[in-house]
Every structure is written in structure tokens, then in C-alpha cells.
Amino acid sequence: MNEFMEQALDSAAASAPVWLQDWQVDGRGRWERSVIPTRKTENWKYTGLQSLRQAFAAPAIAELGLSGAGVDVPELGDGYRLVFANGHHRPELSAGELPAGVSLVRFADASPAQAKRICSYLGTAVGRDAQLFTALNDAALAEGVFLEVAEDARVEQPLQLVWLTGNQAEAFTVNQRLLVLCGARSQATVIEHFAGTHSEQRTFTNGVTELLLESGASLEHYRLHLEQGAALHIGSVHARLAEHATINSFHLALGSELKRIDLVVDHAGPGAHCEVNGVYLPRGNEHIDYHTCIEHRVPHCTSNEVFRGIIADEATAVFNGRIHIHPDAQKTRAQLSNKNLLTSNQAQINTKPELEIYADDVQCAHGATVAQLDELALHYLRTRGVSVADARTMLSFGFINEVIDTVRNQPLREFLQKLLSERFARDGLAARRVKGEARP
């Protein structure tokens, strides 16, 4: 892995604006001092990094389109969309106009005044003690997006940011960075899409998203991982909530060879609230790992977290959810639920919900379940003439549909329901073909 660490810096070496060069130097130093985690590292106990033992080139400019990438949500209307392909901005694929009260600047295009403002916020949610892949992201930081919603702005249409990968002969790496600042009492919706155009394209995405919510701000945040099967993605989302700020965050991860997402929500102001919901669906030999941490630092904050997973074939999944109640966080109310469905005898899930409480006036609950499909429900559907494969499809979709229903944006919710129903239908058809129940 030492070779990977050296090679990662070489592939990350990109020309950066002058104002980001000190940031790169600091990230490089932290990366060089880091140690790659092993199976003996608690937070990486069930997720190996052997897939990184290969050379990754720098991303090249490639001809990529949105067709077939699964990111086009027609019913979003006139919402703004910003597209990056293999890490490069593609204005011809972007669409829409920024609504009033919203400003967006790419790091590469920032004026001196904008650069100064970006530097004043960049890294404030992540901190410098975050996991080592954040250091690698800092070392490669040459391009990113700063999205700011002005105070009291009410943004009705969603803001969509798309990162596409594909059409490159060799394996390559992409470093993604997003910084969102929601001004006091503002309201907005941000959708992050990660997708690939070819199932065999091998990519390593190292992504970091920071969400800063000032007093009374409200943000709906969606992060959708629809990458190709050979994709590797190690990313993190860090949200920092001021007093009475609210974030509703939804995460969807379709499987690929390796996905590791760290999610941290920091309640930094009294009265802050977060809703975090997620679904993960690995199959084949895919692997998905979600590590979440809800930090309650101050009193009178609330949080509710629900993640559900369906693990099929020989796939593996990891969920580690932690609620951390600090000594001053009295009157906290926090809940965490993780439920998992194994649809084969070879599927695996490692789940660990955690409560770490240092205050004595709180209401907290956490739990996790692992189960297989209900044989009685399967039998009931079979007696109604439903095939085994179709019955499994119906029950599996019903298991996660409750979480999909928490998506507040109706066009996006309908898009996800159609996407997942088609995915389950294809899986059901493949199962019937294997068993000879359907003709090709």
C-alpha cells in the first residue's frame, strides 16, 4: 500500500490556482504522514483496500453524455444542473439558470475576493483530523464547487450537481469537492449525482462534501451513488448545523466493487435538527460501507437516522452508526435504526449501532436487525399465482419503499421509485431465467 500512497500523490498532482497551493502542500504532508488502515483498524475492520493496489492515471477529457447514465430527472423542470465529466467541467452538458439568491463558483474560476471567501469556509466542517482520504483530497485540490445560498433566500427548484465517469482506456482517479453554505433562514435543495457510463470502466473517486448551515437555515440534501460496477468510491459528507438549522439528508448507494461513505452531522447550535435516511443495495460480489456519526454538542437538538439495506448474492455490506452525546448536550432526543435484508445464504452484513452518552437528561434509542425474506409472505404470494422471483422482488421493494417515501422532492422520489423498481424487475427476470421459469 506504500506504493499506492506514493502513486496517489503523483496522479493527484494537478495544477491548482495559487490560492490553493498552500492547501495542497498541507494535504500532501498529512497524507505522507498517514498510515493506510488494515483489518486491525477498527473503523476499517470489515472493509479492505486491496482494490487500490493498482495504478490510477489522471483523468482525461472524454466525450461523455448524460444518456444512459441514470442522472436525467425530467420532472425536475427548470432546476439548475452543473456537470463534471471525469473531473472536468462540461458546460455543454450543464443546464438551467441559477435562481435568485444563489451563487456558484468553481474554484478554478474564483476571483481573489471569491477565493478569500472560499478559504474562510473550506475545511471548517471537515476539520484537519478527518480520515486520511480527506488529506489526499486536499493534496489534489485544484477544482471544486462553492455553492452559496443567500440569507432569507427561498430556492424552490433543486440544484443538481453531476459527476460522470467513463470512456478512458486506463483506470483513473477523480477528486471531487463540494462546499455548500446556506445563509441564515434560507431554504434550498441540493442533489449530488455520481454515475458512470460503462460498467467495466475502473475509476477511483475520492469525494468530500461540506454542508454549512447558518442560523435557521433548512437544506434538503440528496447524495445518489449510481456508479458502474467496477467503480471504487471513498467519500465523506460533513454537515455543520448552527442554531435551529435543519437538514434532511437522503443517501442511495447501488453496489460497486468498493464504496465507503463517511457521514458526519455536527449539531453546533441549540435547536438544530437532522433527518438522515439511506438505502444501500449491493449484489454480486459488491461491497458497500456506511459509517455515520451524529454529533450532539449542545442542548435541545434532535436527530433521526434510518438506513435500510438489501444484500444479495455474495455481496457484503457494513453499517456503523454512532450517536455521540457530549456533556453539554442536555435535552437531546436522538434515534437510530438500521434494518437489513439478506436475499441469499452467501450475503453478509456487519452492522454496529452505537450510543456514546455523556449527558444525563436525554432520550436516545438505537437498534439493528438482520433478517431474510418472510417465508409466510412468500407462500401467500405464491398461492396467488406469483412466481418465486416476482414475490421476492415485490417483498424486497416493499422493504425499502418506506425509506424512499421520505424523499420530499416528488419528481426525485418518483425517479428513484422507477429506477429501483426496474432494477428489481431485472433481477427477478434474471433469477427466473436461471431457474428456467422464463425464456430469454
pLDDT (tens digit per residue) in 284-338: 999 999 999 999 999 999 999 999 999 999 999 999 999 999 999 999 999 999 9
| Of 166, 145, 137, 140, the residue nearest 60 (C-alpha) | 166
What pLDDT score was predicted for residue 439?
41
Q: Does residue 426 or residue 354 have the better pLDDT?
A: 354
Judged against a pLDDT cut of 70, whether residue 346 lies above it is answered with: yes
**pLDDT value at 431 more than 60:** no
Residue type, 230: A
Task: Determine the average pLDDT of the residues in 381-398.
Answer: 80
Beta-bridged to residue 146, according to DSSP, are 105, 179
Nearest CA-CA partner of 301 in 264, 336, 332: 332
Range name among 69-73, 121-125, 136-140, 185-189 with the lowest pLDDT average: 69-73
- pLDDT, the chain, mean: 89
Q: What is the pLDDT of residue 358?
A: 97
- Residue 401, classed as helix, strand or coil, is helix
pLDDT tens by residue, 217-271: 999 999 999 998 899 999 999 999 999 999 999 999 998 999 999 999 999 999 9
Report the alpha-carbon angle 24-27-32, nearest 5.
125
Say how far apart CA 96 and CA 94 lie, in whole Å. Answer: 7
Q: Is the pLDDT of residue 13 over 60?
A: no
Whole-number pLDDT of residue 63 = 74
Give the CA count within 13 Å in the CB-facing half-sphere of 226.
24
Q: Which residues contact 328 (CB under 8 A, 6 or more apart)?
A: 297, 298, 299, 359
* Three-state DSSP state, 12: helix
Give the other-Cβ count within 10 Å of 18's Cβ. Answer: 8
DSSP secondary structure of 39-62: TTSGGGTT---GGG-S--BPP---
Q: Could you tell me which residue, 316 or 16, shows the higher pLDDT? A: 316
36 with 44: CB under 8 angstroms? no
Give the pLDDT score at 405.
93
- Residue 2: in which H helix or E strand, if any? helix 2-12
User: What pLDDT, on a 0 to 100 scale, did the predictor assign at position 32?
Assistant: 86
Of 210, 199, 242, residue with least CA distance to 141:
210
Identity of the residue numbered 130: A
Within 10 Å of residue 44's Cβ, how many Cβ atoms?
18
How far is 46 from 61, CA to CA, in rounded Å? 35
Q: Which helix (H) or strand (E) element contains residue 400?
A: helix 388-404
- Start-end of H helices in 102-227: 112-121, 132-139
Q: Which of 12-21, 108-117, 332-341, 425-434 has the lowest mean pLDDT?
A: 425-434
pLDDT at 56: 86
Cβ count near 70 (within 10 Å): 18
For residue 382, is pLDDT > 90? no
- How do the residues of the chain divide into helix, strand and coil, expressed in percent and rounded to 5? 25, 40, 40
Determine contact, residues 296/269, Cβ cutoff 8 Å. no
Alpha helices in 122-273 (DSSP H): 132-139
Q: Is 233 helix (H, G, I), strand (E, B) or coil?
A: strand
C-alpha neighbours within 13 Å on the C-beta side of residue 215: 1
Selected residue with higher pLDDT from 57 and 175 = 175
CA atoms within 13 A of residue 426's CA, in its CB half-sphere: 6
Residue 154 CA to residue 36 CA, distance in Å, equals: 43
| Cα(360)–Cα(369) distance, integer angstroms | 27
**What pairing do the DSSP bridges indicate for beta strands 102-106 and 145-149?**
antiparallel
> How many alpha carbons lie under 13 Å from residue 106 in its C-beta half-sphere?
16
Amino acid letter at 426? R
- Cell triple for 6: 506514493
What pLDDT is stored for residue 394 in this prediction? 80
Note the pLDDT of residue 296.
98
How far is the C-alpha of 336 from the C-alpha of 310, rounded, in Å? 18
Average confidence (pLDDT) over 401-410: 92
Q: How large a percentage of the chain has pLDDT more than 90?
A: 59
Q: How far is Cα 120 from Cα 102, in angstroms, rounded to an integer?
A: 18
Cα gap 436→440, rounded to integer Å = 9
Q: Say if residue 440's pLDDT is above 70.
A: no
